[in-house]
Amino acid sequence: MKAENWNINIAKVQTWLDKEDRGDNGQAITLSITLGNNCDNDDLRSTYWTAIRSIGSTFEDFPMARKGRESALPEEVLLSATSVRNAVYDAFVGITDADIMLKVILPHGRTGGAYESIEDLAEAFGQKAFNALTQGYKENRWDGSMEGNIPQMTPPPVKEKEATK
């Protein structure tokens, strides 16, 4: 496995590990991540990734590797956007008045319903942040640069309101 694919997959797995204690399986995955991070051999990294997937398969919420086309984003941009997604997730999960948020912050209008848990709300806002960054990259408003944990992205231009009649 190429190092860039390894980094992308491991970022997802690390976020998953950080969400809750996964016991002995989590420790085994963490050890495999450490071994893969420290090796310079693509074949060996593939072996570690296979072990991680195998151990993780016992959990329903284990993140799946991306299927299909590779991302058009450079690895550094993708890793920065992923770290922001994770930070936004952590910020929303840490909200102390979760019940209030779950009653008044609702999914997109066409989706309907409500978020079942603060984790679901956090996941949605984390994904929204990720999408905003990837869109910003595609529109040349963000080059992946960060100042600490803060992405240095230019907001989209304000749309002018139509003249009233």
pLDDT at 162: 66
Whether residue 16 has pLDDT greater than 90? no
Rounded percentage of the chain residues whose pLDDT exceeds 90: 38
pLDDT tier at 18 (50, 70, 90 boundaries)?
Answer: confident
* Predicted confidence (pLDDT) per residue in 95-153, tens digit: 888 899 999 988 887 777 889 999 999 999 999 999 999 999 999 999 999 999 899 99
Half-sphere exposure of 113 (CA within 13 A, CB side): 6
pLDDT at 3: 83
pTM for the full predicted model: 0.61
User: Which one-letter amino acid corresponds to residue 143?
Assistant: D
Chain mean position to CA 122: 11
Reading phi first (left if > 0) and then psi (alpha if -120 to 50, else beta), residue 159 is in beta
